[in-house]
Structure 1
């Protein structure tokens, strides 16, 4: 029996399948281990198991573990709007949940540094991210969506009074965090076309963008500016979502249009972009958002609306990536 075979027999069966090679020379055990698909935490536990299995063997004086992995092809979807108050964060959270339900490995970066709301929307208020070697580790949510947000890093209710370079640094820290096996990273951008947007476009170059607007003319004017920014940066736009597309009365079910009707769809057609769908304004959506229960997590009418948008986004993403 060779020395390497003897070492292999001491490795737990659950870890043995990941050991690509093992070598023992002059007391030094060198293992090459496949860590593909493992998060940083999981890879660390695997290495600990291997070291623990071999460290007390008399023929081993030193253990070296080399982790290899197929790099995750992480694609970035920027979700933007030209102005605030159009429900962009709600759309981002529900789109992320709908994509996760469709089988994608999804994370959300809450890049709205001054007004972070994703911890509430995804029900992880009070869950602070851990860090390893100065790298943040994304927080898991109950909806199979990972999250990092300034709302997890500061005291509740505390104002953030930062200039542009500091916000860019915060965005970079979240984007370059440990996202494990996340494949799709949705970035909830702040309203407008300022420093955060420029940092995102220049440093991280999204794979694709989604633009959110209400049907009213003022929102559409600003949404067009956001669309133009993505075009100037060479970022393909998946299309436009019309949010708050009609108000459904919780008592009689009658639908009214306080923000107009069909404006985003008409704008998408005029601009040569795809119309991804509309989401009506309902009391159920407002309550669900405030309580961290995204409607996209179920198959109700609101959930179906977000699922339809997610299917179009995924199809557009496949066409761009393919």
Structure 2
């Protein structure tokens, strides 16, 4: 049996990252009390906070990396926590390194920004945002999601991260990881059942902080779930992010099309490109006979696209799997890829990538 060395163990642990800080455990000085006894490796990991919600995920990753070392037959991982002094030293280290804040707002950023809008609530805009983001992630792209629906935030629940609290380093906010994506939402800062009674200036301040003071990675796609309508927040985001491309979500119903058109018109008035229209709840396929039922009518999405001088990006069906996945916090594209609605989202992701990315940055779709 090959001898296990300290260097081998540290090299393996350097491959494990803190999911929130996106730095490896060795670099963060989280590896403590390392002991090697033949094929048995015992180590303590000092978490940044004792109640870290991702502690079991970190422990599982550490165990897997240790057991992958030739000669290791047993891995024992203990979880501890940094002292206040150690945590302060870590903050100082980040400060000295001058951790850059997000470049998403930079003019030369290559991140594709998609602002997902709707004329009114109830058309499934947030569901589309969460599942389109997951479909892009399933294809292999680096994805971030900003839940800018300040009053009606629902992205945390749909992605299974409700109740999580972001951490801050060097006066910047670390986004919450979910299904391989980075996520930020007002829902992380207030209780789910607490009404948010804010006026315009406070809203704008929160939105600007989420754009400028969150440590977003260099992403391929950055999706923003806008509040419905044409109020202060959608207008402010459009003005702050002139590169953002607008995606309008509607249902086939005439009433939805009429109000959704106003969102598209507002985008054009502030000189934003309307990338296209997504028609949600387009049809229902009967689980017994397989017949397609257009229960909300038909043609609304195409009609809206023509009125706005853009394209219909896709039509999404009503399917029970989507509701079940959203309730469970598991996007269908990642957890039910064979379902019809997941395939529709994956096709939508492929089309958007083809429209927004240069050929050399596109990832060839692999049918799940």
In structure 2, C-alpha distance between the alignment counterparts of 1:231 and 1:320, rounded to whole Å: 27
Separation in 1, partners of 2:25, 2:205: 27
Query: In the alignment, which residue of structure 2 is the partner of 1:79?
Result: 116
8 Å CA contact retained: 1:208, 1:317: no
Residue 352 (structure 2) aligns with: 313
The answer to whether the 8 A contact 1:213-1:243 is kept is yes
RCO comparison, higher one (Cα < 8 Å, 6+)? 1
Aligned to 1:98: 135
Q: Is residue 73–residue 183 contact of structure 1 (8 Å, CA) maintained in 2?
A: yes
- Contact 1:95/1:306 (8 A) holds in 2: yes
Distance 2:243 2:338 in 1: 30
Tell me the distance in 2 between the aligned counterparts of 1:318 and 1:194.
30
| 1-structure distance, mates of 2:195, 2:178 | 25
* Richer in strand (by share): 1
Contact 2:119–2:262 (CA under 8 A) maintained in structure 1: yes
Count of aligned positions: 276
* Aligned residue among 323, 341, 351 for 1:302: 341
* 1:146 aligned partner: 182
Measured in 2, the distance between the counterparts of 1:164 and 1:44 equals: 41
* Pairwise CA distance, 1:48: 6.8
Match of 1:159 among 184, 187, 195: 195
> Of the candidates 164, 168, 176, which is equivalent to residue 204 of structure 2?
168
Residue 57 of structure 1: aligned partner:
none
Alignment gaps of 5+ in structure 1:
1-12, 15-38, 50-62
The CA deviation string for residues 87-133 of structure 1, in whole angstroms up to 9 with x for no partner, is 01011111111111222110000000111110111111122111113
What is the RMSD of the two structures over their aligned residues, measured on CA atoms?
3.2
> 1:17-56: CA deviations, max 9, x gaps?
xxxxxxxxxxxxxxxxxxxxxx96529974879xxxxxxx
Deviation per CA, 1:74-98, whole angstroms, max 9, x where unpaired? 3321000111111010111111111
1:77–1:206 Cα contact (<8 Å) kept: no
Partner of 2:249: helix, strand, or coil? strand
Structure 2 residue matching 1:245: 3-state secondary structure: coil
What secondary structure is seen at the aligned counterpart in 2 of 1:78?
strand
- Map of 1:42 onto structure 2: 23
Quick check: 1:241 aligned with 2:278? yes
Q: TM-score, normalised by structure 2?
A: 0.67
Q: Secondary structure at the residue paired with 2:283? A: strand
After superposition, residues 13-92 of structure 1 pair within 5 angstroms as 41-42=22-23, 46=27, 73-92=110-129
- TM superposition score normalised by structure 1: 0.76
Residue 128 of structure 1 aligns to a residue in which SS? coil
Aligned: 1:293 with 2:330: yes
- Structure 2 residue runs of 5 or longer lacking an equivalent are 1-9, 12-19, 31-92, 104-108, 362-368
Post-superposition Cα deviations, 1:218-264, rounded to whole Å, max 9, x if no partner, equal 11011111111111111112110100002234454443222111211
Alignment check: 8 A CA contact 1:40 1:178 kept: no
